[in-house]
Amino acid sequence: MPRDNFAEPREQEVSGATVIARALLAQDVKYMFGIVGIPVTEIALAAQELGIRYIGMRNEQAACYAASAIGYLTGRPGVCLVVSGPGLIHALGGMANANINCWPLIVIGGSCERNQEAMGAFQEFPQVSNSNILTKFSAIPINIPTSFFNEIEEAVRNSIYGRPGACYVDIPADFVTRQVDVSSVKFKECCLPPPISMADTSAVNMAASVIRNAKQPLLIIGKGAAYAHAEESIQKLVEQCNLPFLPTPMGKGVVPDNHPNCVGAARSRALKYADVIVLFGARLNWMLHFGLPPRYHPHVKFIQVDICAEELGNNVRPAVTLLGNINAVTEQLLEQFDKTPWQYPTETKWWKALKEKMESNEAISKELASKKSLPMNYYTVFYHIQEQLPRDCFIVSEGANTMDIGRTVLQNYFPRHRLDAGTFGIMGVGLGFAIAAALVAKDRNPKQRVICVEGDSAFGFSGMEVETICRYNLPIILLVVNNNGIYQGINTDSWKEMLKFHDATTRVPPVCLLPNAHYEQVMTAFGGKGYFVQTPEDLQKSLRQTLANTTEPSLINIMIEPQSTRKAQEFHWLTRSNM
Ligand SMILES: Cc1ncc(C[n+]2csc(CCOP(=O)(O)OP(=O)(O)O)c2C)c(N)n1
Ligand SMILES: *[C@@H]1O[C@H](CO)[C@@H](O)[C@H](O)[C@H]1NC(C)=O
Ligand SMILES: [Mg+2]
């Protein structure tokens, strides 16, 4: 490539940090999250100079979660920039989570100077080998001028091609500060968008025929479908063929939750009795009970649509496998039903059984929500939140009961608008995800709100990111559903009894957190708005106020009955998070 693709006019020398930043910009990287220090501060500065947004966070874990959410929401990886040793170690959780969620992410870690390696250098740590098992690709660039653009291109391409995932690039300290001759730098332009792959035609024919012959069909829509922007094609398939569908937690919103064909409220029944299940970017892992009896019919025919060949046939022997881009493959299926139209009849026992179950489940939730007793229970809280949520808001959520019950009540109407603890069931992601979503909203539609629904335990993992939220003035609404503990807690009176013991640490139940903690003061400490609410009326009022103010971050600390639980062991996804 001609040199002027890299250098500014009349430029002779640039710093290594500038080369790094320009290579990231060349790959269309727009966001960098991190914590600076030796040896990466210059990289953050160089990135900002080029217009890459740098968001300084309070822990690398949260920075890495935020960067990975940028990847999921925009289809281009965000960067997480960390210092050597402990900085990288804090980011490992975010790398693992991105890779397990199949979200693109680039982690850039400073490392010790090459001539001090194995000498016990400052923060020396085997960074590449520790990143290897958590990533699709990891590298130490050989040479800043000649190989760096190549390596960054390779990392970005790896993060978004095929099944997306995390990539790591190590940057020795001496690279950052070095001055390099611009004529020696080898430029590499942006990688092409990921190629679109399609399924084998005979497999598509076979899949269409299996669907046509289904007696009790079901579609399951995963976050892979959301990532592939398959919303239009899948909704068309649902409607054209009148098929019932079930979203996975982050598949919510690909087809709106209030669509008449959504059978989310009859999840267990739908899974157990379906005879044909088509999976769109949803894996048969623990979240879907491995696709095995007793949660499924022993003879159910699975049709798997996935971008990753290795995923096909995991835990089950599928009837048909459709390898390819989920949107492209769904369009292939639609072609079959355009050629020979077919529709699953509404007047079937299957539809009736599903509708009945949905009605009875929804009635139980409504009944619980209408309870007037104080403190409130989860259902009461979520019904009041749902009433006021703007349709287009991002919903971020984590916790155990908080997330599981919240998911059944809070509705998503748009794809890629729900972020939660995901496949890894990881706590601590909420604030980082919310920050990423707020930045995306700011670029696309500043009126769009981000609502982050946190259990009190979940909030604690990254609570200091409230300072980050206030520093950049991101109008995120944090809702802490506070039951004084992990799954459950105890009230103030029982807590006082606990403290009478000589050694509370051998007596206090491990699930307990401090009763009546004023988490809203974490928000007011940094200038945001805080609310402490105990009644439905206060909850309604504080929500109305925060939603009316589109410029101010806020936290509503919602006190609930510490022993409140879910209604039955029935339709939850993350029951494992409870173990
Ligand atoms: C990183 C991590 N550590 C620990 C856990 C175990 N765990 C699962 S849910 C949860 C917190 C649940 O409490 P809370 O967020 O208050 O929600 P609640 O169920 O009380 O509504 C914990 C600690 C986890 N999933 N991830
Ligand atoms: C929103 O909050 C900010 C900060 O408290 C305040 O200055 C502003 O007037 C509020 N706007 C509205 C519309 O209430
Ligand atoms: Mg809790």
Please write the tens of the pLDDT for every residue from 173-202: 999 999 999 999 999 999 999 999 999 999
What is the pTM assigned to this prediction? 0.96
State the sign of the Cα–Cα–Cα–Cα dihedral 339, 209, 291, 347. positive
User: For the segment 386-415, what is each residue's pLDDT rounded down to a tens digit?
Assistant: 999 999 999 999 999 999 999 999 999 999
| pLDDT at residue 452 tops 70 | yes
Give the model's pLDDT for residue 7. Answer: 77
* pLDDT in the model for residue 3: 43
Our mutation pick for probing the ligand 2 site, out of 529, 531, 547, 551, counting the most ligand atoms within 8 A of Cβ, is 551
Nearest CA to ligand 2 atom 13: 549
Q: Dump pLDDT digits (tens) for 87-125.
A: 999 999 999 999 999 999 999 999 999 899 889 889 999
Q: Which of 389, 395, 391, 447 is nearest to 418 (CA)?
A: 395
| Alpha carbon of 385 to ligand 1 centroid (Å) | 21
Question: Model confidence at 572, in pLDDT bands (50, 70, 90)?
Answer: very low
Please name the fold of domain 370-559. Answer: Rossmann fold (3.40.50)
CA neighbor of 413 nearest in space, from 440, 438, 394, 436:
394
CA of 431 to the centre of ligand 1 (A): 15
**Which ligand lies nearest to the CA atom of residue 484 in the structure?**
3
Residue 486 Cα, ligand 3 centroid: separation in angstroms?
4
Between CA 244 and CA 239 the distance in angstroms is 9
Task: Measure 326 CA to ligand 3 centroid, in angstroms.
Answer: 37
CA-closest residue to ligand 2 atom 3:
552
Among the atoms of ligand 2, which is closest to the Cα of residue 545?
A: 14
Residues 318-366: pLDDT tens digits?
999 999 999 999 999 999 999 999 999 999 999 999 999 999 999 999 9
The torsion region of residue 61 among left (phi > 0), alpha (psi -120 to 50) and beta comes to alpha
Look at ligand 2, atom 12, and give the residue with the nearest C-alpha. Answer: 549
Q: Reduce the secondary structure of 111-144 to three states and give it as a string.
A: ECCHHHCCCCCCCCCCHHHHHHCCCCEEECCCCH
Atom of ligand 2 nearest to the CA of 551: 1
- In this structure, the residue with its CA closest to atom 5 of ligand 1 is 427
Using the mean position of ligand 1's atoms as its centre, give its distance from the Cα of residue 403 in Å.
Answer: 10
Alpha carbon of 456 to ligand 1 centroid (Å): 9
Confidence of residue 491 (pLDDT cuts 50, 70, 90): very high
- Position 143 scores a pLDDT of 85
Does the pLDDT at position 130 exceed 70? yes
User: Is residue 459 a contact partner of residue 430, using CB atoms and an 8 Å limit?
Assistant: yes
Nearest ligand 1 atom to the CA of 486 is: 13
Q: Whose CA is nearest to atom 14 of ligand 1?
A: 455
In terms of CATH architecture, what is 3-184? Answer: 3-Layer(aba) Sandwich (3.40)
Atom of ligand 2 nearest to the CA of 552: 2
Chain Cα centroid distance, residue 169: 22
Banded pLDDT at 571 (limits 50, 70, 90): very low
- Alpha carbon distance, N-terminus to C-terminus of the chain: 55
For residue 189 the two structure tokens come to 């332009």
Ligand nearest to the CA of 482: 3
Domain 201-355 has CATH 3.40.50.1220: yes
CB of 512 closer than 8 Å to CB of 484: yes
Q: Residue 338 corresponds to which tokens in the numbers above?
A: 């355009």
CA 382 to ligand 1 centroid distance, Å: 18
Contact, 80 vs 60, CB < 8 A? Answer: yes
Place of tokens 């001759």: 181
Query: With 90 as the cut, is the pLDDT of residue 576 above it?
Result: no
Using pLDDT thresholds of 50, 70 and 90, give the confidence band for residue 60: very high
* pLDDT average, residue stretch 524-534: 98
Can you list the alpha helix ranges (DSSP code H) found in 6-143? 16-26, 41-49, 60-74, 86-101, 127-132
Q: Is 551 in the pocket of ligand 2 (CB under 6 A)?
A: yes
How far away, in angstroms, is 558 Cα from ligand 2 center?
22
CA of 461 to the centre of ligand 1 (A): 9
∠ CA 355-359-364, rounded to 5°: 150
549 lines ligand 2 (CB under 6 A): yes
Binning pLDDT at 50, 70 and 90, where does residue 573 land? very low
Percent of the chain, pLDDT > 90?
A: 90
- Which ligand is nearest to the Cα of residue 549, counting in written order? 2
pLDDT at 566 over 80: no
pLDDT higher than 70, residue 252: yes
Residue having the nearest C-alpha atom to atom 8 of ligand 1? 577
Output the average pLDDT for the chain: 94
Note whether 419 and 69 are within 8 A (CB).
Answer: yes
CA dihedral 542, 547, 549, 553 (to 10 degrees): 80
Residues of the chain with CATH 3.40.50.970: 3-184, 370-559
Taking residues 218-247, report their average pLDDT.
98
Q: In this model, does residue 270 exceed pLDDT 60? A: yes
What angle, rounded to 10 degrees, do the helices at 16-26 and 144-160 form?
30
List, in order, residues 6 or more apart from 494 with CB less than 8 Å away. none
Which amino acid, residue 398? E
Average confidence (pLDDT) over 141-158: 91
Is 552's C-beta closer than 6 angstroms to any atom of ligand 2?
A: yes
In the chain, the amino acid numbered 187 is: F
- Tokens in use for 515? 């009763």
The set of protein residues with a Cβ atom below 6 angstroms from ligand 1 is 399-402, 425-428, 455-458, 481, 483, 485-487, 577
pLDDT of residue 499: 85
What pLDDT score does 253 carry? 98
CA of 456 to the centre of ligand 3 (A): 5
pLDDT band at 500 (very low <50, low <70, confident <90, very high): confident
* CA gap 165, 159 in Å, rounded: 5
Residue ranges matching CATH 3.40.50.1220 in the chain: 201-355
Residue 550 Cβ contacting ligand 2 at under 6 Å:
no
User: Which among 208, 166, 410 is positioned nearest to 303, based on CA atoms?
Assistant: 208
